[in-house]
Structure formats: structure tokens, C-alpha cells
Amino acid sequence: MIFTPLPLPGAWEIGLEPRSDARGLFARIFCEREFAANGLVTHWVQMNVSLSRERGTLRGMHFQRAPAAEVKLVRCLRGRAFDVIVDLRPGSANFGRHCAVTLDPDRRNAVYVPEGFAHGFQTLEPDTELQYFHSAAYAPEHEGGVNALDPALGIDWPLPPVNLSGRDRALPPLNRTDPP
């Protein structure tokens, strides 16, 4: 596995090192020893998938607060997604900054989202399916978010946003978000 730090400390892009032969390929998507060697979470308690039918669908920006704060490992199984994380850690020199990675099943890459970050994505193709590993179980009473369209975030979404849920559209801007 290839661990590449992202511009926001604690966040990583994780690539695979496939072994190929005439049958196809084999690669690890998770190795406890390698994750631990990079100081990353190695215990996952919940795994989810999301399927977005329409190109341009925007989901996010979501997080969970303590005691249900979570780390996420996000991978694209089908389609392609413009995946974005925002640093919301109180006191962080990078508070409010974001970075983005295009998740692509052909690249087989993933994004490691640390605690204290909001996460969201926009689909670049129809029928885009993402897989999430979570370090904490979903706890609706501890969920939070920041509005993905807030100009203060400066996110340049690659497509006109569609299918933004009412819940996501109603999320507060950065300056009114209670950080995780």
C-alpha cells in the first residue's frame, strides 16, 4: 500500500500496490500493520456504501462530534467522485481549509479522513458508489456538518451541484458551525 500525506495534517490518500498476472490483479485495501506503522486507526466498527444515480450529485459536508467522533476511510467502487475534506479541528492552523482527491475505481485509491474533519463529495459520473469504513458507529445525536456551498470554504466543485438534500442544503456556514 502507498500512503501519501495530503496537504492537511492527519489526512492521507492511500493507493494500492496491485500484483498482476494473466488472471487480473490482487491488492490489499487494508493492512492493520501498515496502517499502524503510519499512525492511522486500525479498528473499523461500521462499513457503509452510498450510491448516487446522477452525475453532479453533492453530498456533505458531514462529521460526528465526541463521543462519537470518527475516522473514515472512503473508496470509490464504481463511477468517480470528487472527494473533499475540511479541517474543523479547533485551534488548527488549517481550520476551514479543504483539500480534494478524485476517487476512481481504476486507480483504486482511498481517502483517510481524520477525526475533526468534515467530509463530502460530488459524483463525476452517474451511478457512483462509495464505500466507507468508520471507526465509530453512526450516532445521529452527535452528527454535524457545514454547508458544502458556503463560499468561505472556497470549494470549487467541478460540476453544477444537483440532488443536494434538504438536510445538507440547511447545514450552517463555516462561521456558524459548531466544530466537532
pLDDT of residue 126: 98
pLDDT of residue 179: 85
Residue 88 in this model has a pLDDT that exceeds 90 = yes
Strand partners of residue 5: 12
- DSSP state for residue 170 in the 8-state scheme: T
- Could you tell me the residue ranges of all domains in the chain? 2-18+25-176
The answer to pTM > 0.85 is yes
* pLDDT average, residue stretch 147-165: 97
E strand spans, the chain:
2-5, 12-15, 19-21, 24-26, 46-52, 58-64, 72-78, 81-87, 98-103, 110-113, 117-123, 128-134, 143-145
| Cell 476512481 belongs to residue | 104
Residue 58's SS3 state is strand
pLDDT of residue 72: 98
Of the residues 62, 98, 119, 134, which is catalytic? 62
Of the residues 98, 119, 132, 134, which is catalytic? 132
pLDDT tens per residue across span 118-155 = 999 999 999 999 999 999 999 999 999 999 999 999 99
- DSSP state for residue 151 in the 8-state scheme: G
**Is 112 among the catalytic positions?**
no
For residues 45, 68, 82, 111, the Cα torsion angle rounded to the nearest 10 degrees is: -50
pLDDT tens per residue across span 4-56 = 999 999 999 999 999 999 999 999 999 999 999 999 999 999 999 999 999 99
From the options 3.90.1580.10, 2.40.50.140, 3.40.50.300, 2.60.120.10, give the CATH code of 2-18+25-176: 2.60.120.10
List all residues 6 or more positions away from 143 whose beta carbon is below 8 Å from its beta carbon: 62, 63, 64, 65
Instruction: State the Cα–Cα distance between residues 88 and 147, nearest whole angstrom.
Output: 13
Instruction: State the Cα–Cα distance between residues 148 and 152, nearest whole angstrom.
Output: 10
pLDDT of residue 180: 87
Residue 156 in this model has a pLDDT that exceeds 90 = yes
**Is 62 among the catalytic positions?**
yes
